Structure 1
Amino acid sequence: MTKWTVGDIPDQQGRTFIVTGANSGLGEVAARALGAAGATVVLACRDTAKGEAVAREIGANAQVRELDLADLSSVREFAAGVDGADVLVNNAGVMAVPLRRTADGFEMQIGTNHLGHFALTGLVLDRIRDRVVTMSSGFHVLGSIDLDDLNWQQRRYRRWAAYGQSKLANLLFTYELQRRLSRAGSTVRAVASHPGYASTNLQAHTESVQDKMMAVGNRVFAQSAQMGALPMLYAATSADVDGGSYYGPDGPFEQRGYPKVVHSNKKSMDHAVAQGLWDLSEELTGVRYA
């Protein structure tokens, strides 16, 4: 793969993208790039005021709709208003936050990063024409899926292990979704990406001394959000993307660089765990995939 940049995004005129968390960070960068390529972009975000500011700069081909992935009633309301889209980009997320619960009682990281997107995808999948792109992370290697205590109700809460579990869940979901789409004879593709180490506001919400440490890391080591968004944009727009593939940066340790096919760990390939997580996710969210 050559050094792919936003300049290589094909013309997206006539195509519609839903991008979660598009009011800031990688989602905002992606929304701007897609809008510049001619796409209609739906900025699905909790902070609609920030989303409206971004949409005004993108232009008439951008619209904002409220979506709180930590509240299944909000997810259902959003999904009910979706007429159709070519691509759903499951980008929004939280990282290493203190122990909190979503409106439905889920641990905040698995609830937002995985269960919210699982429910959203299931509710709109019959209106997605091309692909579903889900954001994971290199931190998936820190995670293990505990099907008996997915929401940290019995274990001592560890914020980074919880984040790793949610990002591992994103990959298990993507691969299992692709297997199900293939069995159903669907042409819709499920794809995953990760940004490497990108400087965004994601690192500023641990509410601990780690915020200051990561702020230094963002300035010294991280690549820009514009570079970090490239694997997601490639996964969302390239004609060469295969279902079930995973994209990240091509630099050392996948921390920075241009998009390439990357590989996830052995845990993400466990079909039995993927099936168990899928069944549990349906049970917890009440969303059954057709």
Structure 2
Amino acid sequence: MTHTSSTPWSVADIPDQTGRTVIITGANSGLGAETATALAARGAHVVLACRNTAKAGEVAARIGDKATVRALDLADLDSVRAFAGTVGGADVLINNAGIMAVPLRRTAQGFESQIGTNHLGHFALTALLLPTITDRVVTLSSGLHQLGRIDLGDLNWERRRYRRWQAYGDSKMANLMFGLELAERLRAAGSAIRSQIAHPGYASTGLVGHTETLLDPIAKLGARLPIAQSAADGALPTLLAATAPDAESGRFYGPTQLFGLRGAPGRSGYNARARDRAIREGLWRESERLTGIDFDVMGTLA
């Protein structure tokens, strides 16, 4: 089934997923839960890879026997390695989990929590699972990647004065750069595996209004106005990227209306800084150094 641009893409366009396995990080609520629910409804077996396994269990109970819960804390590389060692192969990996604009905190390995959870945890997870992925990797970014300016000399905010929104934007730019760079490296390796990036626009999820800042009341108000869309609608770009036969590797998918804040999913533009090959390659090397994982795509797929 090939989607035509004359009609908005929706869950009705998701091809039959029977026999396919999809791993979704952070599927215990919000976008991840909606993504898992929609995929299972089309026949996929979904692995809910979550830190909060109790909440994930509630989602799995609603989905039924097509859902499995596995413990994964992206803020702890030991947990990432343990998870990767206990799951079998999958057709699709969806790097969905994330935290947003939190106060300065450190992960188990001492990374700034947003770059550590949103990017480094997913970088390590993808590196470890890529040999078992048969179809594609989808990484979640955000329209707020526009704030991102990757500082390779201080990725973990050890010397700069911490600014939580800048740190969030950096982590989402890192997600975008990683997805783009992974696509290029897969292509260079002659692999048919795809790497796509998606963003939800302005979706009403558990992240909205929980940044512990004065912006929370404004964000909560915005989530109730027509600007915001539901978590189910926010999941559509991810679902398109994860399932559409004609979704292209290296493309960024998001809402197509109101400057990318809402609307039917489709191809999305992104900040030209994400095209900086020197920064992208530097980010890859720094991510390898910090995680201790040599992510040689060519060697991984050999």
In the alignment, what sits opposite 1:20?
25
Any residues of structure 2 matched to 1:185-224 within 5 Å, and which?
185-220=190-225, 221-224=227-230
1:212 is displaced (CA, Å) by: 2.1
Report Cα offsets for 1:223-274 as digits up to 9, x if no partner.
1111110000000000001110110101020100011111111110111100
Q: 1:278 matched to which residue of 2?
A: 284
TM-score by length of 1: 0.99
Looking at structure 2, the residues matched to 262 and 254 of structure 1 have their Cα atoms a distance apart, in angstroms, of: 7
**What's 2:163 paired with?**
158
Q: State the one-letter code of the partner of 1:237.
A: T
Matched, 1:8 2:13: yes
Instruction: Write out aligned runs for 1:141-152 (5 A).
Output: 141-152=146-157
Q: Secondary structure at the match of 2:219?
A: helix
Specify every segment of 5 or more residues in structure 1 that has no aligned partner in the other structure, as ranges.
none
CA distance in 1, matches of 2:178, 2:214: 32
Give the Cα separation in 1 of the matches to 2:264 and 2:87: 32
Determine whether 1:250 maps to 2:250. no
The one-letter amino acid of 2:242's match is A
CA–CA separation in structure 2 for the residues paired with 1:161 and 1:209 = 16
Q: Secondary structure at the match of 2:212?
A: coil
Give, in whole Å, the separation in 2 of the partners of 1:140 and 1:26: 18
Aligned CA-pair RMSD: 0.8
Partner of 2:183: 178
Match of 1:262 among 268, 271, 279: 268
- DSSP-derived class of the 2:224 partner: helix
1:135 is matched with: 140
Q: Which of 43, 48, 73 is matched with 2:48 structurally?
A: 43
Q: Quick one: which of 38, 49, 58 aligns to 1:53? A: 58
Q: Distance in 1 between matches of 2:210 and 2:72?
A: 19
Matched, 1:168 2:173: yes
Question: Over residues 185-236 of structure 1, what are the superposed CA-to-partner deviations in whole Å (9 max), with x where a residue is unaligned?
Answer: 1110000000000000112331223222211111113111111100000000
Return the TM-score normalized by structure 2. 0.95
- Matched with 1:241 is 247
Aligned to 1:71: 76
Q: Secondary structure at the match of 1:63?
A: strand
CA distance in structure 2 between the partners assigned to 1:45 and 1:287 by the alignment: 22
